[in-house]
């Protein structure tokens, strides 16, 4: 996902309206008969203005976001030194982004970190590199949510239901704030104040600690007394107590779960072209290794930069952040329960699933045999895939192995019966596939949550 960005134009207007609204609430309180209640009004509200006041454009990558991607690239380069040890070529290190500027700017920031010191440009010895994009209308790998009519219809139909499910929480928190501060807040006021709290957090926490997980912030929120870097003291976040923060975070998680995540299978099924692209890149790398292609003639890294609406469905395709028996339910294509409300624990937290600069990595390894030599005769044991989410290795649901998945061929009854087995043929129909593609068929079967997915693929050919 792209790095930290400025609020979008829509959100900037919302914060401008919030500034007017807070001014009105304070004025009404001053004109009221209870002068003692004025002491309950937080001092920062008096004359508050949005830091983005007057902006007519928004949504761009900010400097904190640039640093996130630049530093991430340096960590990737350090982690996979053998992959990034040769001369840059766009066919060896393929970089693509969506047409949205914050995504392409994130790709540029990442590329600068990845290739720092490998050129002759400027004091940092930088070099030029290529970032490609496809049209928004036809980008079924990175912006499938834009081209899938089935999904857009589902989202339009479901958004009012999500708002209705969030309403009791917002009303509860609103009532508490009205009682606490003697101001006539509305649920819209509370929603905007919660958004402002998250904006302040993003800027502060990234600047001071280099962390973008809101969950970390929640655990420390009530010990944080002063934000000296931005000259912010006890503002929007301090309006809420700890229980209210957890409830408001749950409403965000509910929305993400229903509209982007496991709430409906179309949310992640439309990401199958992206998974196919990942699998195809590994297939080509295995062929290059088996046929002893020289370095510089085949792709070593396929790097993609997009949005939460891309990352969340792909994360669901990998089966991450499921609760208990959810994996078995997905295999049967049964609906999943909503994330449990606080104080119950839950795995699905949007701040952990897809914060700014969040990422999924699938790394293909060729491992030596027992005699210390590379094994080429036994394909079943020589290649393994490691999945990482936000740079941490994760285990796949339904697998006995921890950390590394063996890549096996598909010759035999065992693989034909595996979950998702029929997907290979559906993929071949949708976009073609070589016979050598069978080498990663087992990987596809392990990653995809259930055989029934292949029967109702939403994406056929170039469009969804």
Domain locations along the chain? 9-59+147-259, 63-133, 266-456
Pair of tokens at residue 434: 């070589």
- Angle ∠(99,279,349) on CA atoms, nearest 5: 65
Distance CA 439, CA 381 (A): 12
Q: How does 138-151 read in b/e, with b if 16+ C-beta sit within 10 Å?
A: ebbbbbbbbbbeeb
**Secondary structure letter of residue 295 according to DSSP:** T
Is the separation of the CB atoms in 259 and 161 below 8 Å? no
Pair of tokens at residue 267: 């949310």
**Secondary structure letter of residue 62 according to DSSP:** P
Report helix angle 308-317 to 272-290, nearest 10: 70
Per this entry, what is the length of the chain? 464
What SS3 class is residue 8?
coil
What are the CA-CA distances from residue 356 to residues 102, 263, 306, 388 (Å)?
11, 22, 11, 16
Of 227, 197, 236, 229, nearest to 214 by C-alpha is 197
Distance CA 286, CA 295 (A): 13
Local confidence pLDDT in tens for the 464 residues of the chain = 999 999 999 999 999 999 999 999 999 999 988 777 888 999 999 999 999 999 999 999 999 999 999 999 999 999 999 999 999 999 999 999 999 999 999 999 999 999 999 999 999 899 999 999 999 889 999 999 999 999 999 999 999 999 999 999 999 999 999 999 999 999 999 999 999 988 865 544 444 444 444 444 443 443 332 222 243 536 899 999 999 999 999 999 999 999 999 999 999 999 999 999 998 999 899 999 889 999 999 999 999 999 999 999 999 998 999 988 898 888 777 778 999 999 999 999 999 999 999 999 999 998 876 555 554 444 444 888 999 999 999 987 866 555 788 876 422 223 332 333 333 333 333 333 433 333 344 455 555 544 433 343 344 443 33
Pair of tokens at residue 301: 């890294």
């Amino acid at each position: 996902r792209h790095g930290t960005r400025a609020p979008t134009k829509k959100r900037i207007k919302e914060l401008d309206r919030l500034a007017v609204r807070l001014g009105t609430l304070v004025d009404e309180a001053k004109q009221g008969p209870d002068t003692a209640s004025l002491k309950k009004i937080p001092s920062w509200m008096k004359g508050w203005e949005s830091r983005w006041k007057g902006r007519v454009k928004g949504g761009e990558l900010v400097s904190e976001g640039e640093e996130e991607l630049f530093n991430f690239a340096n960590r990737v380069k350090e982690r996979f030194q053998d992959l990034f040890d040769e001369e840059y070529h766009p066919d060896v290190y393929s970089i693509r982004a969506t047409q949205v500027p914050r995504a392409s700017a994130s790709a540029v920031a990442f590329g600068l970190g990845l290739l720092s010191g490998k050129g002759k440009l400027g004091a940092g010895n930088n070099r030029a590199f290529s970032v490609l994009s496809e049209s928004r209308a036809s980008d079924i790998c990175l912006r499938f949510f834009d081209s899938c009519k089935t999904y857009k219809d589902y989202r339009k139909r479901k958004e009012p239901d999500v708002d209705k499910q969030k309403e009791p929480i917002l009303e509860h928190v609103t009532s508490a704030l009205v009682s606490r501060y003697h101001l006539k807040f509305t649920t819209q006021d509370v929603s905007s104040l919660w958004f402002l709290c998250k904006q302040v957090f993003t800027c502060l926490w990234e600047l001071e600690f280099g962390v973008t997980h809101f969950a970390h912030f929640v655990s420390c929120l009530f010990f944080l007394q002063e934000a000296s870097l931005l000259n912010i003291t006890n503002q929007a976040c301090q309006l809420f107590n700890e229980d209210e923060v957890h409830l408001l975070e749950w409403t965000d998680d509910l929305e993400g779960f229903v509209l982007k995540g496991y709430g409906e299978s179309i949310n992640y099924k439309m990401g199958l072209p992206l998974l196919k692209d990942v699998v195809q890149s590994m297939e080509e790398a295995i062929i290059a290794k088996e046929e002893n292609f020289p370095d510089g003639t085949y792709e070593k890294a396929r790097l993609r930069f997009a949005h939460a609406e891309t990352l969340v469905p792909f994360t669901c395709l990998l089966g991450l952040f499921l609760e208990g028996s959810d994996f078995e339910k997905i295999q049967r294509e049964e609906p999943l329960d909503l994330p449990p409300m606080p104080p119950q624990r839950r795995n699905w937290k949007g701040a952990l699933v897809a914060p700014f600069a969040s990422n999924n990595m699938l790394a293909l390894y060729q491992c030596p045999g027992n005699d210390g030599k590379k094994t080429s005769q036994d394909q079943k044991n020589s290649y393994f895939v490691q999945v990482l989410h936000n740079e941490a290795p994760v285990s796949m649901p339904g697998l006995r192995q921890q950390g590394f998945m063996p890549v096996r061929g598909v010759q035999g009854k065992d693989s034909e019966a595996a979950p998702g087995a029929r997907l290979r043929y559906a993929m071949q129909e949708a976009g073609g596939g070589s016979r050598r593609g069978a080498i990663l068929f087992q990987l596809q079967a392990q990653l995809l949550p259930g055989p029934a997915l292949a029967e109702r693929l939403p994406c056929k050919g170039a469009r969804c």
